[in-house]
Amino acid sequence: MKKQAFFSRPPEEPSHIAGLQSDKFRAQHRIFHCPPTESKEYSQVPFDLIPISHNHHYSHEIDTTSTKRVHAQGLGPVAVYKKFPRFWRSTPRVQLQATFLLLMMGLLSITLALALCSGSALFPGLSTTTVSVVAGAEVYNTFDGPGFPACNAVSHVYRPSTVDEMVEIVKNASSQGIPVRASGNAHMWYDTMCSDDPETIIIKTDAVNRISDLELNDGVGSVMIEAGATFPQVAQWLHDHGAALGYTLVNWNITMAGAIAMGAHRSSLREDSQVSAAALAMDIINGKGELIHIEKDDSDTWLAATTSLGLLGIIARVKFAVQADYKVYANQTILDEDEVLGLNGDYDIFEEVSPYVTANYWWWPGQKKFHLRTYGVVPIETSGNAFQSTFSVTPFEGDTARNLLNAGQNLSLPNFVSEGIFFGLWSAPNFHDKQTDLPLLFWPVKGWSYDVLIGGLYPNQLPEWDYDLHGKTLELAVPVTQGQALLKRVRELFDEAAADGKAVTATYRSGINIKFGKPFDSFLGQTTERVGDVQADWSKGALMFDFPSFVPTTGDHHRYNEEWYAKLATTLINEFPVRPHWTKNTRSIFQQALKNLDQDSITRFSQVRKEFDPDGTFKSIVGEIIGVMD
C-alpha cells in the first residue's frame, strides 16, 4: 500500500512541503500492526493511543490509495514511540545496557499493542471499547515540543482516522464526564488549550484528513474538508484539480478546521482574511457525540461557530469556498521607521495597505526600519515558480542563530547584533524556485498562489524549532485607525527601556509582524465590529501587533529584560481597545484584556455553547477566563 508524508508532494515532484518533525524523530518510530480479528464490529475497533510523553513524535503518513485506514477486521497502526539515548555511541558497557533497555521497551510495546488488539486490559478499568483514565496525567505539548505545554495535564491522546471514530470517542468520554479537546498540530504558544482537569483527553485529528466533493463553476466553488486536513494538503490537492484557496490563509502547519475554531487569519484589509469567512457549512460533533450540521447564515449559531474556540465541539467537516487557480507576485520595500510612524509627515497605514490583496509590515526596532511586503494577482500565464518559506533553517543557520541569541539572554548588545543580521537576511526574498530549489535573489517574485502567499519548508531543511529556536509571543488587535498610535506607544516603551540601560529589540528571524484584518462578523473574532463598554471604530478593519521573541535555551530561560514584556502587554491593554489572539497569549493577557471584549457577544456565545455542550465536555482555560463555561 503506497504511503507518503503528510506534507510531501507526489513522488514525481520535488518535496517542497516537509513533515512537521525532523527525520531523526521519524527514524525513532516503531509501528506495530495488530493481527486481524474476525469477530470485531466496526464500532469496537480501538483507536490509536499515542503515549503522552511523546505526543509530537509521531509519523505523518496517509494512505494515498484508500481513504479508509482502519478496518473492521483489525486495528490500524499503533504507534509506540521511543527516543534513542544520546549515549548510544558511548562505551561498550553503556551500549549493552542501552540495547537491553530498548529490547525490554520493545517487548513491552509489543505486549501493549497485542493487548489492545485482543481487547484485554493491561490496567484495571482500561478498555479498548471505552474511554477511561490512566492515573498519572502528563503534559501535552505545543508544536514547539517539550517545555512548551499546550495542556498541563491530559490522561490520553487518541488519534482516530475517521469522523465516525471521533464521534465514538466523544460519546464515550461524555458518558463518563471526561473532558475532551481536539488538536490538529497543536499550533499553540501557551498552556491555554485545555482546562487543567487531569482527566482531559486529546483527540488528535491529523489522520482525519479527507478532501472531497470539489465543485467549480465559472471560477468559484467549494470543497469538503475533514477536521485534520492542513492548508498545504488542501492547497496541493486543489492545485492538482485546477482550483485554489483565496486569501483566508494561515501558516502551513495548521489544520483548516482548527484555524476556523480559533479565529486565525492572514493579512488583508481588502479581501476576507479570517479563515472562517470562507466556511460555507460545518459538521460539528457536539458534547453528546452527535454530528450537527450547520450552514452559513446570520444566526447566533453561525456567529458562535465561526470563532468557537473549540467549545461547541469538534469541527469534523467544513464546506470551504474555493476559486479557480491563480498566480500572484510578492514584492518588498524598506521604509524608515519615522515614515511609518508618521513622524516625518502624513502616513496613512490604511491607505498604504488596503489596495493589496494581502500585505503586512515587519518591524525592526533596533534598525528603526520596516519591511512592507505586498502581494497582487498576475496573469495565469506569467512565468515564475516562487516558493516561500518563513520557517526553513539549515543546520548551520539554526546552530549559529541559537548560539548568538543565547548570548543575548543577559546582555542587550548581542540581541541588536542578531536583529541586524536577521534584517539583512530578510531584505532578500525568503523564496526559492520550486523546480530548482535555488534561492531567488531579487524582488518581485512570482508563482502559484499558495506557494507564494504561504509556501512551506524547503527540501532537506527543517523548521526552526527543530534547532531549539523557540519563542514566546504577544498578539493584540487594535482598530487600524488607531494602529499608528499603538506603534508609536510601543516605540516609546522601547526608548524607555534603552534609557533605563536595558534596551530591548526584536529577536525573531522576521522581526515584529504587523498584520491586518478586514472586518468579519463573529461573536469572538478579533475583527468583529461588535463593541461593548469600550467603544471603538472597527469598521475599517484591524491592525494586529504580533511580537514573537526568542526563548533562550540556557539558564532559567528568561528573556533579556523579561519584566519589560509584561509592561508592554499591560500598557497596550490599558491604553487601547485591543483584543487578544486566542492562541498567542498567556492566561494573564486574557484576564487583563477581558474588559475590552463585548459582554453581550460573550453572553450570546455562552448560550449557543450550552445548546451544543450542556455538560461542558469541551473545556478550556480560555473559556473559563472569559466566563462561557458556566
CATH of the domain at 311: 3.30.465.10
Residues 446 and 574 in one domain: yes
Which pLDDT does position 252 carry in this prediction? 78
Is 447 among the domain residues? yes
**pLDDT of 28 over the 80 cut:** no
**pLDDT of 276 over the 70 cut:** yes
Is 184 among the domain residues? yes
Judge if the upstream peptide bond of residue 444 is cis by omega within 30 degrees of 0.
Answer: yes
Q: Where among 325, 345, 360 does a domain terminate?
A: 325
Which pLDDT does position 314 carry in this prediction? 98
Residues 381 and 444 in one domain: yes
Q: How far is CA 547 from CA 405, 471, 504, in A?
A: 16, 10, 12
Band of residue 103 on the pLDDT scale cut at 50, 70, 90: very low
Instruction: Give the whole-angstrom CA distance, residue 202 versus residue 52.
Output: 10
Query: Percentage of the chain with pLDDT > 90?
Result: 77
Which pLDDT does position 116 carry in this prediction? 40
- Do residues 369 and 423 lie in contact, with contact meaning Cβ atoms separated by under 8 Å? yes
Q: Where among 586, 602, 617 does a domain terminate?
A: 586
Instruction: Give the whole-angstrom CA distance, residue 408 versus residue 4.
Output: 41
Is 629 among the domain residues? no
Comparing 36-40, 173-177, 217-221, 559-563, the range with the smallest average pLDDT is: 36-40
- Do residues 382 and 446 lie in contact, with contact meaning Cβ atoms separated by under 8 Å? yes
Sequence-distant (≥ 6) Cβ neighbours of residue 518 within 8 angstroms:
268, 269, 270, 271, 272, 273, 274, 527, 541
Is 554 among the domain residues? yes
- Do residues 550 and 405 lie in contact, with contact meaning Cβ atoms separated by under 8 Å? yes
Which pLDDT does position 480 carry in this prediction? 98
Torsion sign over Cα 607, 608, 611, 613:
negative
Residues 160 and 303 in one domain: no
**pLDDT of 121 over the 70 cut:** no
Is 332 among the domain residues? yes
Instruction: Give the whole-angstrom CA distance, residue 603 versus residue 581.
Output: 19
**pLDDT of 321 over the 80 cut:** yes
How large is the average pLDDT for residues 519-530?
Answer: 97
Is 166 among the domain residues? yes
Instruction: Give the whole-angstrom CA distance, residue 417 versus residue 429.
Output: 21
Band of residue 251 on the pLDDT scale cut at 50, 70, 90: confident
Q: Count helices and strands (H / E) in the chain.
A: 16, 30
Residues 463 and 357 in one domain: yes
Is 606 among the domain residues? no
Band of residue 109 on the pLDDT scale cut at 50, 70, 90: very low
Owner of C-alpha cell 541569541: 405
Residues 274 and 360 in one domain: no
Phi, psi for 397 (deg, rounded to 5)? -60, -45
Question: Which CATH number belongs to the domain containing residue 371 in this structure?
Answer: 3.40.462.10
**pLDDT of 550 over the 90 cut:** yes
Residues 297 and 338 in one domain: no
Residues 230 and 375 in one domain: no
Instruction: Give the whole-angstrom CA distance, residue 538 versus residue 383.
Output: 39
Which pLDDT does position 49 carry in this prediction? 52
- Do residues 269 and 541 lie in contact, with contact meaning Cβ atoms separated by under 8 Å? yes
Q: Where among 185, 204, 223 does a domain terminate?
A: 204
Sequence-distant (≥ 6) Cβ neighbours of residue 177 within 8 angstroms:
615
Is 613 among the domain residues? no
> What letter represents residue 186's amino acid?
A
Count the domains in the chain: 3
Sequence-distant (≥ 6) Cβ neighbours of residue 284 within 8 angstroms:
291, 292, 294, 305, 308, 312, 313, 314, 315, 316, 612
Which pLDDT does position 95 carry in this prediction? 39
Instruction: Give the whole-angstrom CA distance, residue 107 versus residue 120.
Output: 17
**pLDDT of 99 over the 60 cut:** no
How large is the average pLDDT for residues 146-159?
Answer: 96
> What letter represents residue 563's amino acid?
E
> What letter represents residue 125's amino acid?
G
Residues 500 and 485 in one domain: yes
Residues 277 and 139 in one domain: no
Which pLDDT does position 193 carry in this prediction? 97
Q: How far is CA 21 from CA 53, 59, 398, 425, 461, in A?
A: 15, 8, 15, 25, 11
Look at residues 540, 571, 629 and name the one whose alpha carbon lies nearest to residue 268: 540
Residues 65 and 155 in one domain: yes
Residues 198 and 215 in one domain: no
pLDDT tens track for 381-424: 999 999 999 999 999 999 999 999 999 999 999 999 999 999 99
Instruction: Give the whole-angstrom CA distance, residue 291 versus residue 4.
Output: 30
- Do residues 316 and 256 lie in contact, with contact meaning Cβ atoms separated by under 8 Å? no
pLDDT tens track for 573-622: 999 999 999 999 999 999 999 999 999 999 999 999 999 999 999 999 99
Residues 450 and 521 in one domain: yes
Which pLDDT does position 136 carry in this prediction? 53
Domain that holds residue 491: 327-586
**pLDDT of 40 over the 50 cut:** no
Task: Output the DSSP codes for 330-378.
Answer: EEEEEEEHHHHTTTTS---HHHHHTTSSEEEEEEETTTTEEEEEEEEEE
How large is the average pLDDT for residues 35-63?
Answer: 34
- Do residues 358 and 365 lie in contact, with contact meaning Cβ atoms separated by under 8 Å? no
